[in-house]
């Protein structure tokens, strides 16, 4: 593996590292819409008016409109959930909770205990000699 012949001085090291942390501001342009004129990155849609090269590309939504849409979506989701619950409610009724375990649950617990006893408790694949 190659090794440097001589040690680099701190000044040379720092000069080499000086350009890595340099952050430059991207070039800014302004929206082509005369009513807007907001600063925009080149080749990007204007976030203020939704235009790109003079054409409306996206619909810009105000915060009030966004909140109204969100509220409407939540209401529709609640209504759909209620309709689904009502539709599913026509099936078999659910058992009320009595606090006592069912006989079937007790049988399952007993079966689980038997399976644990059958398993070998040693480590590894087999006996070592």
Over the chain (129 residues), the average pLDDT of each successive run of 10 is 93 89 83 87 89 85 88 93 83 55 58 54 60
pLDDT tens-digit map of 94-114? 555 565 656 655 555 555 555
Alpha helices in the chain (DSSP H): 10-17, 63-88, 103-118
Tell me the two tokens of residue 51: 């235009």
Indicate the length of the chain as a whole number.
129
**Confidence at residue 125, expressed as pLDDT on a 0 to 100 scale:** 63
**Confidence at residue 9, expressed as pLDDT on a 0 to 100 scale:** 96
Tell me the two tokens of residue 82: 């209620």
Instruction: Check: CB of residue 31 under 8 Å from CB of residue 50.
Output: no
**Confidence at residue 11, expressed as pLDDT on a 0 to 100 scale:** 96
**Confidence at residue 73, expressed as pLDDT on a 0 to 100 scale:** 93
- Nearest residue to 33 via CA among 54, 61, 56: 54
pTM for the full model?
0.39
């Amino acid at each position: 593996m190659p090794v440097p012949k001589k040690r680099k001085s701190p000044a040379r090291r720092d000069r080499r590292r000086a350009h890595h942390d340099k952050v430059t501001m991207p070039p800014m342009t302004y929206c082509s819409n005369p009513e807007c004129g907001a600063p925009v990155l080149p080749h990007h849609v204007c976030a203020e008016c939704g235009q790109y090269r003079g054409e409306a590309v996206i619909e810009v939504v105000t915060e009030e409109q966004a909140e109204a849409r969100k509220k409407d979506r939540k209401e529709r989701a609640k209504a759909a959930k209620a309709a689904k619950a009502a539709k599913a409610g026509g099936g078999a009724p659910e058992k009320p909770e009595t606090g006592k375990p069912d006989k079937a649950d007790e049988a399952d617990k007993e079966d689980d205990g038997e399976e644990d006893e059958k398993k070998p408790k040693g480590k590894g694949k087999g006996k070592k000699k």
